Structure 1
């Protein structure tokens, strides 16, 4: 897709996304994706040489190689959402080899999936595309369902199967979050010592975050703080849902309740209602972009046109906000492989298009 195709796809209602100039933190203050991002941001850090090499490998793989942007295929839904529910739309993905093939043919920088999936094909593919092993999961077989991320394997096992990176999820705001923070921080320390990069799924989970008909799990201020904690435990890349609103702290502090600490300038100076500036607030909390922000692609609607529209719009917002890319799974693997490849390529086209710049 070229620039005109992208503008046409998003339509007149979204034309403002292409001309908008951020009214919050100027882009000159951000650590933006670039061909020298690893040299500029990670080389002066405490990351060991092998970690720098694996970060550079990820940034130099696929259609976005050498741009500083990343496109990652995540398929951990066989555990997170159950295999039958996830793969029924396209049963070929019960076979992990097809997951890796989709990532390669789709021009991705890396493929993210489970220990078992990557181990089953590691000797054939570990040298062909960077592996990102997901360390922990929430499983839905326990009755009644519970929601907790538990470790499914060791960092050493991920290293043994040839992983370039490890990933993990923390449910910030949940009763289990303290334990998860400790577990993941220790795992990321070990991963870095072994030379692997680290990616953190910084998700919120607490029923109290839904209030007065609004879902603050996707609020810029709360997700931004989750990003800040994730960067603090040394995630190299932060995965976060695209923000859809703001005011989480304010809403949760109404009445007699007391939640966290906030400053109203979060809403008036550091962000506003524009989706680009909502996303930029997430970037700010990733140490001004020192940890790259990748937004998730979300669920598939089952409608190919809508999936394409949503994915491309998310990519435009992420890129113009100063983000690092997209991690899109269900929208790509829950359809025929050729259509999944086309969707991944459309996302990548946004990051390759020089006319779409940082706002």
Structure 2
């Protein structure tokens, strides 16, 4: 596998990493239909843990089968497939080596009380990722939660262990918890802050949500206004999040969220592309659609990220 010049430039930004980690990043960047472009589309299927099976899979019953997701990611020509331990194990042998995989190492669920605190349980190990041949581990942090410091310490140790074994780390940085409002979870100042935290924790790939033009923190709002930071469009907000990710020296992908209309998905992808983002990580917006419809949607997204649309 020969790395493109674009991918070589991206890998050069990871100056402190081992050849093994860079090889895994290269593997993902050089896989699928976007290989060599520096853009990525990843299929994440961890929603069954957080939302429950019916809410997650019932709109497309074929998606109850873990093999469905492996095959969808492969046939769509995606860069990687991410899932918790049990789901990856359910197809690990059948699909070994056919697509890079990311083992999601922590998960939340909807059966906890509202007083439990915003946190996630560790449900897998770096050793599991190595055993399954994964390219990366995935881990969620909740900036804004009273439990956030524990989560930061957990991923710091797991990232260190993974890097020593040549495995990359993807951090889902999702602001939520006692310190911020519901609107604040997608505020642009909070999204950029979340990206910065993930970068500082050593994430090789950062996953965040697309943001709104809301400014949550009083002191941050003052700076945004004084410095005339443009947050008027989605592309401008993506650019601000990229700037907060070491001036674009870290790969950043943006989540698709709950199922919505295709035009909105395509508009989001164009904004990510135009703002300098590295791509999309799309779960429910793909596997909750009928397979043919999902594949057609991925075709369009590939065209957008290649600048053809």
Which category describes the TM-score, using the shorter chain as reference length? over 0.9
Question: Unpaired segments of 5 or more residues in structure 1?
Answer: 1-33, 251-260
Q: Contact 2:146/2:178 (CA < 8 Å) preserved in 1?
A: no
- CA distance 1:189–1:208, change in 2 (3 Å): closer
CA distance in 1, matches of 2:265, 2:300: 8
1:154-206, Cα deviation, whole Å (9 max, x unpaired): 11111111101111110110011000010011111111111111111110112
Show CA shifts across 1:233-253 (max 9, x none).
Answer: 110111111111231112xxx
Question: In structure 2, how many angstroms separate the alpha carbons of the residues matched to 1:133 and 1:293?
Answer: 18
Among candidates 207, 211, 220, match of residue 262 of structure 1: 220
- Name the count of aligned residue pairs: 304
Give the one of 65, 70, 83 matched to 2:53: 83
The Cα shift of 1:221 comes to: 0.7
Q: 1:66 to 1:41 in 2, by over 3 A?
A: closer
Q: Does 1:249 align with 2:208?
A: no
TM-score, scaled to structure 1: 0.80
Q: Secondary structure at the match of 1:295?
A: strand
Q: Does the Cα contact within 8 Å between 2:183 and 2:214 map onto a contact in 1?
A: no
2:188–2:231: 8 Å Cα contact kept in structure 1? no
Are 1:36 and 2:5 counterparts?
A: yes
Gaps of 5+ in 2: none
- Runs of 4+ in structure 1 deviating by more than 4 angstroms, as ranges, are 143-146
The one-character-per-residue Cα deviations of 1:235-286 (angstroms, maximum 9, x if unpaired) are 0111111111231112xxxxxxxxxx53733244333322211111111111
Name the counterpart of 1:116: 86
Give SS of 2:33's match: coil
How far apart are the structure 2 equivalents of 1:282 and 1:271? 12
Mapped to 2, the partners of 1:41 and 1:274 lie a distance apart of: 26
Pair 1:348-2:302 in alignment: yes
| Aligned partner of residue 122 in structure 1, secondary structure | coil
Report the secondary structure of 1:204's partner residue: coil
Do the aligned residues in 2 keep the contact of 1:61 with 1:109 (CA within 8 Å)? Answer: yes
CA distance in 1, matches of 2:211, 2:196: 15
Determine the structure 2 residue equivalent to 1:30. Answer: none
Matched-pair contact (CA < 8 Å) for 1:295–1:327:
yes
Residue matched to 1:309: 263
Work out whether 1:51 is the aligned partner of 2:10. Answer: no
Residue in 2 aligned with 1:18?
Answer: none
RCO comparison, higher one (Cα < 8 Å, 6+): 1
Per the TM alignment, residue 223 of structure 1 is displaced from its structure 2 partner at its CA by 1.1
Map Cα deviations across residues 111-137 of structure 1 (whole Å, 9 max, x no partner): 011111111211221301000111101
**Which residue of the partner structure matches residue 192 of structure 1?**
163
Alignment partners' CA distance in 1, 2:115 and 2:76: 34
| 1:322 matched to 2:276 | yes
**Higher radius of gyration, 1 or 2:** 1
Cα RMSD of the aligned pairs, angstroms, is: 1.9
Q: Which residue in 1 is equivalent to 2:248? A: 289
Residue 190 (structure 2) pairs with residue 222 (structure 1) = yes
CA–CA distance in 2 between the matches of 1:223 and 1:160?
34
Distance 1:183 1:120 in 2: 26
Distance 2:233 2:54 in 1: 38
